[in-house]
Amino acid sequence: MRAITKLGAFTIGFFSFTLILPAMAQVISDGTTNTVVNQSGNNFNIFNGIQKGNNLFHSFSNFSIPAGSTAIFNNAADVQNIFSRVTAGSVSNIDGLIQANGSANLFLLNPSGIIFGSNAQLNIGGSFIGTTAESIKFADGVEFSAINPQITPLLTINAPIGLQLGSNPAPINVQGTGHSLSNPNPSGLPPIIVAPSASELRVQPEQTLALVGGNLHLNGATLTAQQGQVELGSVSGTGLVSLIPTAQGYTLGYENGQSFGDIQLAQRSLLDVSGVNAGSVQVQGRHIKFIDGSVVLAQNFGYLAGGEIHLQASAAIDMIGRTDAAIWSGIRSETFGSAAGGNIRVITPKLTLQEGAGLNSSTVGTAASGNIEVQATAIELSGFSPINPTGISTLSTSSYYSSGNAGDIFVNGNSLVVSGGASLSSATFGSGSSGKVTIRNNHTTVMGENPFGLYSSISSTTFAMGNAKILTLDTAKLQILDGGVVAATTFFIGNGGDLSINATESIEISGRSRSNNSSINSSVLRLDPQFQQLFGLPDILIANAGNVNITTPNLTLMDGGTVSVTSQGRGNGGSLNITANTIKLDRQTSIQAATESGNGGNIALEVGKLLILRGNSAIVATAGGNGNGGNININAPLVVGLENSDIIANAVQGRGGNIQITTQGKIGLQFRPELTLENDITASSQFGISGTVQINNLGVDPNSGLIGLPANVTDPSQQIATGCANDQGSKFVATGRGGVPQNPTQEVTSDRTWSDIRDLSTYRKNSSITPQITQSSEVLIQATSWHRNAQGKIELIADKSPTQAQQPLTCAAVPKS
């Protein structure tokens, strides 16, 4: 801000100087190119110069145009490029009109700086390139330099290839009265209305307007190139900016490893490339800043795709929406015809959208809106405009009242934070679909709401007949806090999109705001009457919710956090699939699939280690009306339910859902026909048929029952040998204690070994040996299910515990003689 203040003071001082000396000639030839300047009243007529082929060269010691004056280049009709340089070290102050004949491009080169006043205008047939570079380079090696003016023989007929900037390029400042953009739609939907600006730098359609130098300051400036190109480049050190010819003039290239300077658009500045076929914009610098309602606008009305809007910063891009203007700071790409809107591409280490600023691409035609791609190490979307609270910070693609699809959103980086009611979304308000939303980074946080109850969100949404597309989030750590939402939502007949979330470290969903619980959800929702009327939405919803697929090592839900697939209409709930090592629900949290009148969605949980529910938490698959309750399938080594936590698959008039739990251990949770204040597993229907509960216990539970033994016991004499064969050298040795007693109170006994001299043949005969079976006391067995027998009576059933069969010790394998 200090640099801006100094430049502003310098600008005021320079303007004062030019106004004090209005009679002084401001356009003066330096004599190196035979340039002749004739002043006639307020006109500076410029003749001669040196023409080489289609190139015309002029050189000035001073080039400034006071307000109300005109500098006229009287070039021949065959001239394609006019190269003009300023060599005496004075700043060019352009507050009047620059005019040239025919369709020639005009290059204005002044290493000391250029200031465009609020009255500055262009009347040229070709492109305009204003630069504080030191020289222009050509393909044959010739250099048209403003710091080392060359004599005539060194000029060239070749096309320019680049702008050579020095070690400390001077700034370029553009003054103006600001744009008068407006939006008559109370909901903020397109189109934006462009009113003529009182101050404007404009080139002819399909041409380039480029400013390249040190720091660039646009204060209320309007730069217009209908169907053409606007190029802003700030370079802070020595480097070559290449000139790449295009059908619309030139594109600037920064492939030579330049160091960059700062660019600021303030006081409702506008870069406008709208037209029958929208043009392109490139802004390249170190720190790029949009404030005070400054906007890049590309409206496409034709049958060819719009050009790209490209912003690239080596340090940061900040867009701050605080303004009293009708349009907030940011980038707008809109298409109204049969061709796609232009894409928006942002590359920077840090992107910040604050106080209502936005990156927005939309369609009101049959074609798709442009895509938005953001590559940034850190991305922050936050808050709303304190001056105009209806403006929230957004990164969005949209389809409005048309068959065109909304564009896709791609976000890549390290961290993304969406807070204070901000939104990252793709939505459709017509028959076209929303766009895909794809986010890949290491850390994503969505949290909080604004003071008016609008929660922060990442979403794919349909408000009409079009379907919402998939939202994919690949991250290491996902946090959804204090009422934040990640959602795929439908408010009409278009089906909700799927959510695919993969977090390689963890997912935390925690807390609530005044109006909303933190959540991941795919939903069919009914808005309040005010919004229904605003968007023309029906009371009865028939859309189906999308599916939610989550993969993470650790999923934690706390303090009201939810993961859900729900429908408040007649449509069906989606499926909810979660794969995790650990799932923890605590303090009134839930995983749910619910519908108001359609069939409930299914829930499938694949848990590697632990599923625990505490503090009035629940896993719920329910259906209202005639819908059937959804199914719940849980596969977890250990399932724990504490403090009135439940697993529920209920219905009202339809059939209750089925619950199947496969586990090695279950603690706290018990099957009950209806909900209690305990930890319940229930699958019931209020007026219909209840569902089933099946618990597959893979572990050994001594209270679950005994496995019955066969009635015919194998003859133990064939399994256990009563002796060993003596004719094969067998022996039996029992070693004693050597006479040592087991304790000091016993008497000392003989240490002679015992010798059996009995005839063993007597004992080789088969003998009847009665097996000894330990009798266990009767144990109460916990029932796990029930059925109705043939007599119509209810019988309780307990699952059998598998036993580990053990091979008994035996000598039966000893061969006999």
pLDDT at 41: 93
Buried (b) or exposed (e) across 505-538, using 16+ Cβ within 10 A?
Answer: ebbbbbbbbeebbbbbbbbbbbeeeeeeeeeebe
In this structure, are residues 605 and 611 in contact, taking their beta carbons and an 8 Å threshold? Answer: yes
User: Model confidence at 735, in pLDDT bands (50, 70, 90)?
Assistant: low
**Conformation bin of residue 442: beta by default, left when phi > 0, alpha when psi is -120 to 50:** alpha
Number of H helices, E strands in the chain: 2, 60
In this structure, are residues 521 and 514 in contact, taking their beta carbons and an 8 Å threshold? Answer: no
> Rounded distance, CA 436 to CA 371, Å?
9
User: Per-residue pLDDT averaged across 179-196, rounded?
Assistant: 75
Q: Which of 677, 698, 719 is the last residue of a domain?
A: 698
Does position 535 have pLDDT exceeding 80, yes or no? no
Show Cβ contacts of residue 762 under 8 Å, excluding neighbours closer than 6 positions: none
Element (H, E) at 424: strand 423-428
What's the distance, CA 209 to chain centroid? 33
pLDDT at 80: 97
> Rounded distance, CA 367 to CA 406, Å?
9
Q: Which residues pair with 50 in a beta bridge?
A: 57
pLDDT at 800: 54
Of the ranges 337-341, 593-597, 758-762, which is most confident? Answer: 337-341
> Rounded distance, CA 167 to CA 155, Å?
24
Per-residue pLDDT of 143-173, as tens digits, reads 999 998 865 556 889 999 999 999 999 999 9
User: Model confidence at 190, in pLDDT bands (50, 70, 90)?
Assistant: confident
Does position 437 have pLDDT exceeding 90, yes or no? yes
Mean pLDDT check: name the lowest of 555-559, 560-564, 710-714: 710-714
Would 312 be classed as within a structural domain? no
> Rounded distance, CA 336 to CA 276, Å?
10
Element (H, E) at 530: helix 529-535
pLDDT at 687: 79
User: Model confidence at 459, in pLDDT bands (50, 70, 90)?
Assistant: very high
pLDDT at 661: 97
Which residue, 231, 222, 248, is CA-closest to 105? 248
DSSP 8-state symbol, 718 = G
Owner of token pair 């909810």: 576
Mean pLDDT check: name the lowest of 408-412, 417-421, 496-500: 496-500
Would 565 be classed as within a structural domain? no
User: How does DSSP assign 246-291, residue by residue?
Assistant: ETTEEEEE-TT---B--EEEESS-EEE--BSS--EEEEEEEEEEE-
Q: What tokens does 605 get? A: 């949980």
Would 283 be classed as within a structural domain? yes
Which has more confidence, 595 or 211? Answer: 211
Which has more confidence, 509 or 365? Answer: 509
Neighbours of 794 (CB within 10 A): 8
Would 598 be classed as within a structural domain? no
pLDDT at 813: 44
In this structure, are residues 608 and 640 in contact, taking their beta carbons and an 8 Å threshold? Answer: no
pLDDT at 194: 82
User: Model confidence at 525, in pLDDT bands (50, 70, 90)?
Assistant: confident
Of the ranges 181-185, 373-377, 778-782, which is most confident? Answer: 373-377
User: Model confidence at 4, in pLDDT bands (50, 70, 90)?
Assistant: very low
In this structure, are residues 661 and 646 in contact, taking their beta carbons and an 8 Å threshold? Answer: no
Would 624 be classed as within a structural domain? yes
In this structure, are residues 590 and 576 in contact, taking their beta carbons and an 8 Å threshold? Answer: no
Owner of token pair 């030839």: 29
Which has more confidence, 766 or 553? Answer: 553
Mean pLDDT check: name the lowest of 93-97, 469-473, 773-777, 789-793: 773-777
Length of the chain: 817
Does position 384 have pLDDT exceeding 90, yes or no? no
pLDDT at 539: 66
Q: Is 2 helix (H, G, I), strand (E, B) or coil?
A: helix
What's the distance, CA 300 to chain centroid? 26
Phi first, then psi: give them for residue 6, nearest 5 degrees: -65, -40
In this structure, are residues 260 and 239 in contact, taking their beta carbons and an 8 Å threshold? Answer: no
Q: Which of 698, 718, 752 is the last residue of a domain?
A: 698
Which has more confidence, 599 or 563? Answer: 563
Helix %, strand %, coil % for the chain, to 5?
Answer: 5, 45, 50
Mean pLDDT check: name the lowest of 41-50, 217-226, 387-396, 663-672: 387-396
Per-residue pLDDT of 88-97, as tens digits, reads 999 999 999 9
Which residue, 385, 225, 229, is CA-closest to 320? 385
User: Model confidence at 258, in pLDDT bands (50, 70, 90)?
Assistant: confident
Neighbour-count burial of 414, counting CB atoms closer than 10 A to its CB (0-12 exposed, 13-18 middle, 19+ buried): middle
The H-assigned helical ranges of 336-378 are none
User: How does DSSP assign 196-224, residue by residue?
Assistant: PPSS-EE--TT-EEEEEESSEEEES-EEE
pLDDT at 764: 45
User: Model confidence at 492, in pLDDT bands (50, 70, 90)?
Assistant: confident
pLDDT at 25: 52
Q: What tokens does 317 get? A: 């891009």
Per-residue pLDDT of 615-624, as tens digits, reads 999 999 888 7
Would 520 be classed as within a structural domain? no
In this structure, are residues 141 and 163 in contact, taking their beta carbons and an 8 Å threshold? Answer: no
Would 205 be classed as within a structural domain? yes
Mean pLDDT check: name the lowest of 40-49, 71-80, 587-596: 587-596
Task: From residue 242, give the alpha-carbon distance in Å to each of 94, 232, 233, 258, 700.
Answer: 25, 13, 11, 11, 76
Does position 792 have pLDDT exceeding 90, yes or no? no
Neighbours of 427 (CB within 10 A): 24
Q: Is 309 helix (H, G, I), strand (E, B) or coil?
A: strand
User: Model confidence at 781, in pLDDT bands (50, 70, 90)?
Assistant: low
Show Cβ contacts of residue 178 under 8 Å, excluding neighbours closer than 6 positions: 197, 220, 222, 267, 268, 269, 270, 292, 293, 325
Would 53 be classed as within a structural domain? yes
> Rounded distance, CA 164 to CA 242, Å?
9
In this structure, are residues 402 and 364 in contact, taking their beta carbons and an 8 Å threshold? Answer: yes
Q: What's the domain range around 177?
A: 42-301
Q: Which residues pair with 109 in a beta bridge?
A: 85, 131
Mean pLDDT of the chain: 85
Which has more confidence, 563 or 650? Answer: 563
Does position 583 have pLDDT exceeding 60, yes or no? yes
What is the tally of structural domains in the chain?
A: 2
In this structure, are residues 332 and 368 in contact, taking their beta carbons and an 8 Å threshold? Answer: no
**CATH number where 97 lies:** 2.160.20
pLDDT at 153: 56
pLDDT at 224: 98
pLDDT at 106: 98
pLDDT at 10: 37
Of the ranges 106-120, 651-665, 711-725, which is most confident? Answer: 106-120
Which residue, 461, 477, 366, 506, is CA-closest to 415? 477
The C-alpha torsion from 739 through 741 and 746 to 752, rounded to 10°, is: -20
Task: From residue 490, give the alpha-carbon distance in Å to each of 494, 575, 627, 797, 812.
Answer: 6, 16, 19, 45, 74
Task: From residue 749, give the alpha-carbon distance in Å to each of 732, 733, 743.
Answer: 22, 19, 12
User: Model confidence at 20, in pLDDT bands (50, 70, 90)?
Assistant: very low
Mean pLDDT check: name the lowest of 494-498, 578-582, 670-674, 733-737: 733-737
Which residue, 393, 401, 407, is CA-closest to 344? 407
> Rounded distance, CA 304 to CA 238, Å?
38
Q: End-to-end alpha-carbon separation of the chain, Å?
A: 109
The C-alpha torsion from 263 through 268 and 273 to 278, rounded to 10°, is: 120
Neighbours of 189 (CB within 10 A): 15
Q: What tokens does 739 get? A: 């006479």
Neighbours of 571 (CB within 10 A): 23
Q: Which of 248, 267, 301 is the last residue of a domain?
A: 301
Per-residue pLDDT of 665-709, as tens digits, reads 999 999 998 899 999 999 988 878 888 999 998 765 544 555 555
Q: What tokens does 180 get? A: 């008068």
> Rounded distance, CA 702 to CA 720, Å?
29
- 711: amino acid identity, one letter: A
pLDDT at 626: 78
In this structure, are residues 260 and 235 in contact, taking their beta carbons and an 8 Å threshold? Answer: yes
pLDDT at 452: 86
User: Model confidence at 513, in pLDDT bands (50, 70, 90)?
Assistant: very high
